[in-house]
Amino acid sequence: MKSETNPSQQTVSAQTKTSLIQLPKKSILLPKERNRLALRFNPAAWAKLAYFRDKTENEVGGFAITEVDDLLNVQEFITVKQEVTSISVKFDDIAVADFFETQVDLGRKPEQFARIWLHTHPGDMSEPSGQDETTFGRVFGKCNWALMFILAENNRTYAKLSFNVGPKGEILIPVEVDYSQAFGPSDHKLWDEEYQANVSHAAWLSDFDLFTGETTGFKDIPASGRSYDFIGELERLDPIERQIVLDELANRPDLWNDGEVMFI
Ligand SMILES: [Zn+2]
């Protein structure tokens, strides 16, 4: 809960626990200004995000590119190399660095390309998972402000604007697709190529062959993978098999070392 205490007396954890503030029904903002406090999508950017969502049973993530004079007006959705599951997106941090460099070369400011994290959910739930919240805090917590946006199936959305300066806080804001602005055509061929180049499905334990000690490579996660019980399966193994699996995981720090890779 937000309190009336002097901000300087608040601890860091108290600040991060700031509860969500719903927009008041009666706003003191003028209608024109009120309309601006929304995450607005150019229809082409929205179409691309929805297209990526519908290509997979997994999540897909990327960054929003916004206009320099309207930082909540999303002009583009751009992906970077990532490993995905039905419940997570993990960006490759070298790819993120390359993306940032390219954007700077294009003359854009970080507020235009590194503040809004867009990702899709394969199910009907647009609310963030615990992992989403952890990632958002860890990756974007040092920015003055940042926004987490989620697009689920049936076009359900979630947009949380978080600001880490001044009184600090988080606010859920409305989402609009703004058909009043000019927008480009779809390009499924190009989008397919981008998807193929950037999005790979994470390998799961079931890819590991206990008898040959080899992994069978990256595979699509089967539908049942959504409820894959990793810990349960590990516990059911006999001690020798379990040790083989743990040794294999130890040799694959990329699967669990989030110091190396940006988990989103
Ligand atoms: Zn998510």
- Quick one: which of 31, 19, 41 has its CA closest to 175? 41
CATH 3.40.140.10 placement within the chain: 30-201
Distance CA 248, CA 225 (A): 20
Distance from Cα 133 to the centre of ligand 1, integer Å: 9
155: left (phi over 0), alpha (psi -120 to 50) or beta: left
What percent of the chain is predicted at pLDDT more than 90?
A: 50
Distance from Cα 23 to the centre of ligand 1, integer Å: 23
Better-scored residue on pLDDT, 162 or 14: 162
Distance from Cα 60 to the centre of ligand 1, integer Å: 9
Query: Hey, is 200 helix, strand or coil?
Result: strand
Distance from Cα 210 to the centre of ligand 1, integer Å: 31
Distance from Cα 135 to the centre of ligand 1, integer Å: 10
* pLDDT, tens digit (0-9, with 9 covering 90-100), for 113-152: 999 999 999 999 999 999 899 888 888 888 889 999 999 9
Distance from Cα 241 to the centre of ligand 1, integer Å: 32
Distance from Cα 59 to the centre of ligand 1, integer Å: 7
- Does residue 103 have a pLDDT over 90? yes
- Does residue 11 have a pLDDT over 80? no
| Residues bordering ligand 1, an ion, CB closer than 5 Å | 132
* pLDDT, tens digit (0-9, with 9 covering 90-100), for 30-70: 445 445 689 999 999 999 999 999 999 999 999 999 999 99
- The pLDDT, as a whole number, for residue 137 is 87
Distance from Cα 152 to the centre of ligand 1, integer Å: 9
Q: Which fold has domain 30-201?
A: Cytidine Deaminase; domain 2 (3.40.140)
Distance CA 49, CA 77 (A): 6
- The pLDDT, as a whole number, for residue 213 is 42
H helices of 29-182, where? 31-36, 43-54, 93-105, 110-113, 130-140
Distance from Cα 128 to the centre of ligand 1, integer Å: 5
Distance from Cα 49 to the centre of ligand 1, integer Å: 14
- Does residue 95 have a pLDDT over 80? yes
Distance from Cα 162 to the centre of ligand 1, integer Å: 16
**Mean per-residue pLDDT over the chain, rounded:** 75
Query: Hey, is 104 helix, strand or coil?
Result: helix
